[in-house]
Structure 1
Amino acid sequence: MLSDNWQQVISTFEEMKLKSEILRGIRALGYDQPTPIQQRATVAILSRRDAVIQIPRLEERTVTYIAALLQQIETRDKSCQAIIIVHSKDLCYAIQDLINVAGQYMQFSCLVCTGGIPMRKDIEKLRNEGQQIIIGTPGLLIGLMVDRKFDFNRVKTIIIEDSCIMFNSNFRTQAFDIIYQLPKSAQRVLMTTATTFTLADIKNKITKNTIIVLNDVHMSDGLQLYYAVVEKDDQKLNALCEIYKEVNIQKSVIFCDNSERVDWLADKLATLFENVAVYSMHSLTRQSERHEIVKSFWESKAALIVTTDCFSSVLAFHPVDYSVHFDLPYKKEEYHDRLCCCGAYGSPGVAINILVKGQLHDLGVLERYYRLQSQELLVTNYFYQ
């Protein structure tokens, strides 16, 4: 396993000597001062050495490397200087939104390369305008690199977002191909939610003289975990309604395991809760609609969004009050992302699993894996604080 080896701490962004334009930008994101982990991690990236950095909370993690990347960008040089490799198309756009806010007082260019947009448009932007930061999924980035008409030889920094997922998925081979095609001198930064034996092995393959910065905050800090048990699956909706009768709904995310289930539940809730905005989003939702759905959800005073695990990482940028798991996730990693949508790692939040009796074992497997413990909500008292 990995061991922390970086002790340097700088307690303010000013002392990190970030450009004044960047200071204004990250303040616009709500970061007047760096968090404890950012006080070490941002400095580690600014050192330009290879690094493995564990920051479980998505927005905190993203702001950490954005601040360092913008500091290192040479604005007069229009060639690509940084590449961020991301496993999710929607997450690419969410990261770009944060970069644009943080860098709004600077002159720089940032391109997202994902599916759904003809590659020729990306090629035209690279040829005609130059893009100093490129964010993309592995397949599209490989496609751009195959066209040798672009100069990637000036790339200084490679960020691999959520390395645990990247190197434990179908993207593994493509991610390696991208890294090996970029300059050997480029800084390689593995951002991660957790440390694993796999990540320790990956670190040895693609980084050298590596800084390791680990977060010592446990997932359960600040998080209240509950579960409610029903006899049959068709009783879950009644249980959910009983829970919401006792809760002052402000913002809540409800996770289902497939798109049909999402649409069905969203329709039911829209009928039952007339004074609450109900949104739904899943893999069949058109790309052009997704950004507007998420934006409307955040802008609503009281809202529910019913979704699948495809969007847990995007929703985790701004944690909500409650995360309800109408269905358990298929993968252990998805449970982590769900919990990050409602707090965890020091931020307050409530997560509730609604189970049929046969799923108690499955919940136990997840809780042992993440060292968590939840309390049962009795049928006569579905929710209490």
Structure 2
Amino acid sequence: MQSKYSDYQLRLELMEALADLRFVEPTPIQHQVLPLLLKGRNLIAQAPTGTGKTHAFLLPLFEQLNIHKQNIQAVVLAPTRELAEQIFKRAVELADYFPDAIDIQLLIGGTDRTRGIERLKNSQPQIVIGTPGRVFDLIKEGALDATHVTMVVLDEADMIFDTGFISEVDGIIGRVPETAQLAIFSATIPQVIEQFAQKYMAGAAQVAIDAKQKTPVAIEHLAIPVRRKSREDLIVDITEMCHPYLALIFANTRKHADALAGELRDRGIRIGVLHGDLSARERRQMIRRIRDLEFQYVVATDIAARGIDIEGISHIINYELPDDLAFYIHRVGRTARGSNEGMAISLITPEQEVAVNQLRERGIDINYVEIKNAEFVPVASRNKRMRVNRIDDETLKASHQAHARKAKKVKPGYKKKLEREVKAAVGKAKRQQQKRNNKKR
């Protein structure tokens, strides 16, 4: 039975905020997480982007906040400045509904450190949202007093650790009270998170969205086999027929992203690029230009695109499938937000069909298509075609062997008869294969 926000007895201010934000009922991850965090449990939650996880931790954070105490009570850590800024905005939205001012400070790199320290000397915030590097630096400096913290949240924890913030997070956790509630939200649960949990979160509750719920149902997943045309040619074909509002094109490396962007620019396509080689200033400028819709297409890498909330993404194009298939969930979760629909198109080489099958086993309905006359036309996967061809070859071979054994008794017109029999056998094999395929669907 689906829960309601009213089931959790949240503050009136939070209920008003949810109503104005048109949040009707908790998402699956919120349904699992809210009761646990409201009870003060330590938590490890596996959930991809676009599942409502930000409010899954912000609602309990505000519910447990002592508004009348002017000290740091909650710390939210994010791997990138952009994600920290987005969480900060969501937090400010909720804080605006409270009659008393709630002091929330955004602490990220790329801002004036000296000015930030002076501000903190005058007044400690009640909620800190920031990147691990800057937050730990200010704690070490003595500018932040973490001795009253009651809750610490790590959002996109796999990326926090993957980008080298392990020592900073260790330093922060080591300076908050042992009684502080810890919550981890992550798209994947690698070994480093398991080790962190063993060290700091013994007995933590663990929740995860069911595999079949991990991608929005409003996404159409398509796989285009890479055969006669290059990946670049196929992407150009897609751009000519899809006309997206905004499309993210994912490449696995910075080198591939730059090469693809250059190739598409040479073909007259105006395109943006997001990857780790951009400076902080270039990155901010690029994100602003994307949000201002200067580009219809943006080539990005997984790390660069994580934690960036850009509205209106209608299409996800995988120039290549990610090495870690969990990132497929992350990529496609950027489209079909809210009540919108989306499309995810992946370019698939023969050796990647195994990966497609693995995604299907996770409950993702991916259909093979090819582009003909500016339309997506259903087509069998290479493995299916090979199975049919193998049946054809075996049938043909069997027919030839049967007639070869009777070669001495050949009757007039046997060649035409053989052709008819082979044709009939091949047709029968294909029909039987099609029936088996239909049963699997």
TM bucket (normalised to shorter chain) is: 0.7 to 0.9
- From 308, 311, 320, give the equivalent of 2:313: 320
Which residue pairs with 1:110 in the alignment?
Answer: 104
Whole-angstrom distance in 2 between the partners of 1:293 and 1:101 = 25
Structure 2: give runs of 5+ residues left out of the alignment: 379-441
* Gap change, CA 1:132 and 1:208, over 3 Å in 2: same
Which residue pairs with 1:86 in the alignment?
Answer: 78
Alpha-carbon RMSD across the aligned residues, in angstroms, is 3.6
Q: Displacement, 1:267? A: 3.5
Which residue pairs with 1:252 in the alignment?
Answer: 247
Q: Displacement, 1:340? A: 1.7
Identity across the alignment (%): 18
Q: Displacement, 1:384? A: 5.2
In structure 2, what residue type is equivalent to 1:129? Answer: S
Whole-angstrom distance in 2 between the partners of 1:283 and 1:166 = 14
Whole-angstrom distance in 2 between the partners of 1:38 and 1:25 = 16
- Are 2:357 and 1:361 equivalent residues in the alignment? no
Whole-angstrom distance in 1 between the partners of 2:310 and 2:246 = 13
- Are 2:220 and 1:224 equivalent residues in the alignment? yes
- From 150, 168, 174, give the equivalent of 1:180: 174
* Segment of structure 1 superposing worse, 48-57 or 59-68: 48-57
In structure 2, what residue type is equivalent to 1:224? Answer: E
- Are 2:301 and 1:305 equivalent residues in the alignment? no
Whole-angstrom distance in 2 between the partners of 1:102 and 1:236 = 45
Do the aligned partners of 1:243 and 1:383 also contact (CA within 8 Å) in 2?
no
- The secondary structure found in structure 1 opposite 2:41 is coil
Which structure is higher in RCO with an 8 Å CA cutoff and minimum separation 6? 1
* Gap change, CA 1:28 and 1:302, over 3 Å in 2: farther
Which residue pairs with 1:47 in the alignment?
Answer: 39
In structure 1, what residue type is equivalent to 2:220? Answer: Q
| 1:212-235 per-position Cα deviation (integer Å, ceiling 9, x unaligned) | 3332242356243333344689x3
Q: Displacement, 1:383? A: 2.6
Which residue pairs with 2:49 in the alignment?
Answer: 57
- Are 2:235 and 1:240 equivalent residues in the alignment? yes
Which residue pairs with 1:17 in the alignment?
Answer: 9
Whole-angstrom distance in 1 between the partners of 2:111 and 2:323 = 29
* Gap change, CA 1:134 and 1:366, over 3 Å in 2: farther
Q: Displacement, 1:154? A: 0.8
In structure 1, what residue type is equivalent to 2:118? Answer: E
Do the aligned partners of 2:49 and 2:330 also contact (CA within 8 Å) in 1?
no
* Gap change, CA 1:334 and 1:118, over 3 Å in 2: farther
Whole-angstrom distance in 2 between the partners of 1:364 and 1:339 = 19
1:173-212 counterparts in 2 under 5 A? 173-195=167-189, 199-212=193-206
* Segment of structure 1 superposing worse, 287-296 or 176-185: 287-296
| 1:67-99 per-position Cα deviation (integer Å, ceiling 9, x unaligned) | 111222222322111111222222111211222
In structure 2, what residue type is equivalent to 1:104? Answer: D
- The secondary structure found in structure 2 opposite 1:181 is coil
Whole-angstrom distance in 2 between the partners of 1:367 and 1:109 = 49
* Gap change, CA 1:27 and 1:178, over 3 Å in 2: same
- From 155, 159, 165, give the equivalent of 1:161: 155
In structure 2, what residue type is equivalent to 1:93? Answer: E
Structure 1: give runs of 5+ residues left out of the alignment: 1-8
Q: Displacement, 1:153? A: 0.8
Which residue pairs with 1:339 in the alignment?
Answer: 332
The structure that has the greater radius of gyration is 2
Whole-angstrom distance in 1 between the partners of 2:4 and 2:158 = 29
Whole-angstrom distance in 2 between the partners of 1:331 and 1:113 = 31
Q: Displacement, 1:62? A: 0.6
* Segment of structure 1 superposing worse, 76-85 or 168-177: 168-177
Q: How many residues align?
A: 368
Do the aligned partners of 1:58 and 1:316 also contact (CA within 8 Å) in 2?
no
* Gap change, CA 1:272 and 1:160, over 3 Å in 2: closer
Where is the helix percentage greater, Structure 1 or Structure 2? 2
In structure 1, what residue type is equivalent to 2:209? Answer: N
- The secondary structure found in structure 1 opposite 2:111 is coil
Q: Displacement, 1:156? A: 0.7
Whole-angstrom distance in 1 between the partners of 2:68 and 2:200 = 30
Which residue pairs with 1:128 in the alignment?
Answer: 122
- The secondary structure found in structure 1 opposite 2:84 is helix
Which residue pairs with 1:139 in the alignment?
Answer: 133
Whole-angstrom distance in 1 between the partners of 2:109 and 2:190 = 30
Do the aligned partners of 1:54 and 1:194 also contact (CA within 8 Å) in 2?
yes
- The secondary structure found in structure 1 opposite 2:139 is helix
* TM-score normalized by the length of structure 1: 0.80
Q: Displacement, 1:329? A: 4.1
- The secondary structure found in structure 2 opposite 1:15 is helix
- Are 2:70 and 1:70 equivalent residues in the alignment? no
